[in-house]
Structures are given as C-alpha cells and as structure tokens.
C-alpha cells in the first residue's frame, strides 16, 4: 500500500513496483474470506445497454451524479443527448488521498469509441471531457486507470478504485423529434427542433443522406420526410414514433425533411371529394388511413375546383397531396382562380396500386387572400384522397413553384359566349389552345377587353397572352 503523506494519491498494491518482496494482492485479501469485507455493489451498467442518463437543467448544467468504481473490472456507462455544441463533463474523485485515477471514454450512438480523456500525471486524478459535438445521443464510460511507471512512482489500473462524481454542461436538446440510423431506434441519433432541414443542414448535424430508418416524434408534432433535397420528390408524414420505416416503404430514402407542429392554425386539410366543381372524375371508398372517399378515375384533362381557400398571409406554403397510382408518368397541376395564378406541376410516382398511398408535395409562394383552388390532371392516372396547405415561412422556392406576375384575370369562368379580361389586351398577341388536343384556335380580340368563345365546343382551354414578350396563360372552361 502506497504512502499518502507526501503525495495526494494512495494506491493498493500487489507488488507491481520494482524490487517488491511481498506480492500480496491487497484488494483480494481485504475483499476475500479472511476479512469478509467484499466489494461494493455495482451501481451502474458496465456497457452501453442500460447506460444511466445524465440529466441537466434548462441551462445545460448536469445534475450531479455520484458513482463508485468498485474493482478493476468495474466500468460505469452513462448516456446523454445534446442539441449540439461544446460539451464539458468532469469526473472527479475525492479531494485528497484518493485511490481512483479516472478516465472517460466517449462513444457515439452506434457504440463506436470516438475519444479518450484522462490526465497522464500520476498525481492528477480527475478527468475532463471537453469536446464540440454535433447534436445527437452519446455515451461515456467512466473507469479507473493507471498512470506513470508502475515499477517506479506510478501505478496500474489494479488499485484504481473508489468514489467519484460527474458534473459539467451539455448544450440543451431542444428537439421535438429524433431521427435514427437503424430500425428500432438504433445507430446514431440526431435530435431536431421544429424547422425545415435541407440535405446540407442534415449533414451538418451528422445525418447521412438516405440513412434514416426510424424516428421518434413528440406529441403535438409531425415530421415530413422527402426523397429528394429541398423538400421535393415523394414524401410521407409521420406524426408519432415509427420503429422502422420499412413498413412505410421509406427506409433509407430521406434527403430532406420538415419538423412542424400538428396543431398549427396555419394548416388546413381539404378532402379531395369535397370539390365545388369538377369534370370527369368519380369518387370511391378508400383504404387510406381515416377511411372515407377518394377521388379516382381521373384522366388527362379532368379537373377539380375548391372554392374559398384562404391563404392568411403572404409567403411560402407547403401543399401536400395524398396520392395513389398504378402507372408511371402521372402528372397534375395546381392553380388559383381558374388558372389566373399557376402554381406548377406535381409528379405522381407509381405507388404500386390504386390504394397504395403516398404523400407528394410542392412549395409555392402565394399572396394573402382567398382563392378558388384548382387541380388539373395533366397526365393520367391519379387517385387523390386529400390535400393539405401549410404556411411554412421562408421555404425554398423552385422554378416550378414561382408565382408569376399577374397581368390580368379572366371572367366569367366557366364561360358560355364572351370571355372578359381585367386589362386591355388589344396590343397583345392572343392564342387559344384546346387543352385536350393541343390545337391552336384563331381569336377575334374585339374591343381589346374580351374575346368571343361562343363557337368553341364544351371543354377545357388555355388562353395565351403575349404582351411585349411576357407570356401568361389562363385556363378556362367552356360550357
């Protein structure tokens, strides 16, 4: 047993120092049958499975943990989740005459060791982890270790046992949802606060592209996962914990995502069958979640209109569509006020069946107001169960979702004989196109504020207006 009167460490011995002539195993003797003291009980898990959580307050200060390394074989594991940033964890032994020289080993969520923190000075027993970590879940292992030359003045891990405390700071995890690399919440874990995350933003937090397999979502929130970057491609909406995205046919596919509150008043869901007017479509019972009806049998040129859809503020909106299709190449477009504002095309994937449902989306910019919302089938076939409009703030805009500058509005729509313009088009080139056949039809501009459409057959048409090189399109229905 070492002498503590001239240095701040006392070590049990089994004769590992040079020229030892008594090789008695002190710890085994004290714990053994001769004295019957035994070892202290193991207070924490010796591995990642069952690791104790390090909790912390709103400022990130760790609620102090106390532990004991009871033998050379003992190893205490803890886990914590950080919102990302500089993490400081202190493991401190008793203030004087201690036996325990501490070491902290850092592991990522997959259990891979990524750092070791200790002091090589035999007289400095405490250990401090100080590292800048990405948001996510981590583990630390606290253990006793040796220092210096065990043969002369140092010691091995043999007698490095005793009490310790854990303190420090962890950047708070303000996330409401967590994504995991593997199913059943395995692999690395990254916590996310409400917001929109492109691929580069996810990668900055440690999420690998096409790597998410399970996720947890707090009550009151939901996550929208997209196949492609910048919130494009097919998507799904998950509003609760999902242990394996294989069941959603979305495993290892996400490249961007949104985390949002489900109770937001800026979100409205419209059932597809609740149209104000339509052409060519039918409804049928749906097997999608929630049941009810879906719109089906939609062929090229068919359409639905929904009156009085309110966009409460100007800015970007996410529009999600619940679709099913058994064909390749289906496309529909959306517009406002019978085509006076074109919102853009939406591609519909082959979902593998007319009742195999997925969510696709587009992001558009709309000025505040109440509009009639239209869906036009550009290429069949599409089943539609519902669509949802959500204010998303400064979401990414793409060429397909730019809002054109509005030069004019056409009315009435549908029309019987005369189609009027809210602006003078006398000096503009006017062309009418049959939406079903693509045929161009001659136009008589009349007084410059209207055109005669009485000779047109009933159907859907586009009127193209070219004014000094600025082309605009409006769609109308001829009764």
Per-residue pLDDT tens digits for 259-315? 887 644 457 889 999 898 999 999 999 988 777 899 999 989 999 999 888 888 888
What pLDDT score was predicted for residue 468? Answer: 64
Residue 153 to residue 162: CA distance in whole angstroms: 20
What pLDDT score was predicted for residue 401? Answer: 31
Side-chain-side CA neighbours of residue 35 (13 Å): 10
What pLDDT score was predicted for residue 18? Answer: 74
Residue 147 to residue 119: CA distance in whole angstroms: 8
What pLDDT score was predicted for residue 371? Answer: 93
Token digits for 474?
Answer: 């409006």
Global pTM value: 0.41
What pLDDT score was predicted for residue 167? Answer: 95
The 10 Å Cβ neighbour count of residue 272 is: 27
Residues of the chain with pLDDT under 70: 1-13, 15, 33-39, 58, 96-97, 151, 153, 174, 262-266, 393-409, 435-438, 467-471
In CATH terms, the fold of domain 267-401 is: Jelly Rolls (2.60.120)
Instruction: Give which of 274, 300, 294 is closest to 282, Cα–Cα.
Output: 294
In CATH terms, the fold of domain 410-478 is: Immunoglobulin-like (2.60.40)
What pLDDT score was predicted for residue 285? Answer: 92
The 10 Å Cβ neighbour count of residue 79 is: 17
Instruction: Give which of 166, 175, 173 is closest to 194, Cα–Cα.
Output: 175
Return the domain boundaries, the chain: 26-169, 177-261, 267-401, 410-478
Q: What is the CA radius of gyration of the chain?
A: 34
Helix ranges, 226-343 (H): none
Superfamily name with CATH number, domain 177-261:
Crystallins (2.60.20.10)
What pLDDT score was predicted for residue 221? Answer: 81
Domains 26-169 and 267-401 share a fold: yes
In CATH terms, the fold of domain 26-169 is: Jelly Rolls (2.60.120)
What pLDDT score was predicted for residue 232? Answer: 80
What pLDDT score was predicted for residue 398? Answer: 31
**298 pairs with which residues across the strands?**
382
Token digits for 15?
Answer: 């004769």
What pLDDT score was predicted for residue 189? Answer: 74
Helix ranges, 171-277 (H): 199-204
Give, in order, the Cα–Cα distances in Å from 263 to each of 121, 222, 269, 368: 56, 10, 12, 21
């Amino acid at each position: 047993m070492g002498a503590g009167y001239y240095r701040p460490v006392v070590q049990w011995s089994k004769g590992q120092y040079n020229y030892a002539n008594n090789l008695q195993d002190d710890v085994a003797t004290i714990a053994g049958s001769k004295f019957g003291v035994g070892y202290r009980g193991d207070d924490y898990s010796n591995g990642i499975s069952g690791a104790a959580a390090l909790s912390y307050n709103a400022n990130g200060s760790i609620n102090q943990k106390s532990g004991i390394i009871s033998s050379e074989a003992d190893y205490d594991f803890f886990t914590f989740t950080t919102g990302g940033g500089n993490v400081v964890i202190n493991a401190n032994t008793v203030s004087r005459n201690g036996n325990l020289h501490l070491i902290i080993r850092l592991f990522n969520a997959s259990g891979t060791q990524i750092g070791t923190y200790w002091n090589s000075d035999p007289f400095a027993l405490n250990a401090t982890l100080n590292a800048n970590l990405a948001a996510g879940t981590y583990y630390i292992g606290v253990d006793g270790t040796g220092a210096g030359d065990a043969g002369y003045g140092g010691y091995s891990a043999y007698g490095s046992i005793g009490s310790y405390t854990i303190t420090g700071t962890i950047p708070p995890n303000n996330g409401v949802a967590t994504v995991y690399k593997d199913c059943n919440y395995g692999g690395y874990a990254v916590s996310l606060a409400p917001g929109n995350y492109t691929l580069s933003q996810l990668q900055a937090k440690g999420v690998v592209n096409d790597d998410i397999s399970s996720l947890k979502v707090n009550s009151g929130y939901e996550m929208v996962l997209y196949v492609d970057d910048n919130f494009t491609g097919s998507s799904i909406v998950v509003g609760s914990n999902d242990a394996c995205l294989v069941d959603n046919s979305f495993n290892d596919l996400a490249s961007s995502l949104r985390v949002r509150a489900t109770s937001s008043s800026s979100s409205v869901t419209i059932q597809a069958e609740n149209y104000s007017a339509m052409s060519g479509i039918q409804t049928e019972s749906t097997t999608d979640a929630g049941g009810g009806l879906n719109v089906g049998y939609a062929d090229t040129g068919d359409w639905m209109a929904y009156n009085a859809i309110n966009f409460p503020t100007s800015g970007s909106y996410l529009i999600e569509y619940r679709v099913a299709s058994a064909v390749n190449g289906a496309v529909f477009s959306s517009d406002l006020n019978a085509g006076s504002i074109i919102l853009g095309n939406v591609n519909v994937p082959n979902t593998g069946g007319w009742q195999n449902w997925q969510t696709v989306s587009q992001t558009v910019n709309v000025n505040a107001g109440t509009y009639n919302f239209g869906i036009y089938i550009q290429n069949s076939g599409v089943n539609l169960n519902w669509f949802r409009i959500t204010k998303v703030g400064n979401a990414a805009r793409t060429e397909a979702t730019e809002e054109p500058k509005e030069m004019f509005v056409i009315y009435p729509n549908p029309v019987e004989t005369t189609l009027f313009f809210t602006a003078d088009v006398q000096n503009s080139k006017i062309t009418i196109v049959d939406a079903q056949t693509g045929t161009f039809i001659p136009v008589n501009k009349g007084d410059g504020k209207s055109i005669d459409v009485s000779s047109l057959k009933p159907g859907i048409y586009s009127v193209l207006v070219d004014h000094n090189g600025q082309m605009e399109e409006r769609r109308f229905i001829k009764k």
